[in-house]
Structure 1
Amino acid sequence: MILETLHQSVQTVFTNKVRLVKALLIPFIVTYLLRSLKVSIAGSEIYEEVIVFVLNIAIFLVSSIICLRTQQILDSHGTDDTRFSTWKGISFDAQQRHYTTYLFLLFGLLNAIWAVFQIDYDWVNNGVLYCILLLLGCAGWVIFSRLSFVLPAIAAGKKASFKDALELTKHKRLYAFVIAGLLPVAFYMLFIGLPIFLLFANPNFAMSLKFIYVFIWGVIVIAIPFVIAAIEATAYRALMDNSEATEISSVE
Structure 2
Amino acid sequence: MFNNSSFRLIKIFSLIIITSICFSCKDDVALNFTDTSIIDEGETTIEINIPKADGKTEAAKQINTTLTKFVTAALNIEAVSETKTTTLESIEGFKKAYTDFKTQIGKTLYTNLPPWEVLVDGEIIYQSETLISIAMNSSINTGGAHSNLIFKFYNFDAKTGLELKTKDLINDVPSFTLLAKKYYDKELLSANNDRIEAFENDTFNLPENLGFSEDGVIVFYDTFNSSSNNVIEFTIPYTVANNYLNF
Q: What TM-score results when the alignment is normalised by the length of structure 2?
A: 0.30
* More strand by percentage: 2
Q: What TM-score results when the alignment is normalised by the length of structure 1?
A: 0.29
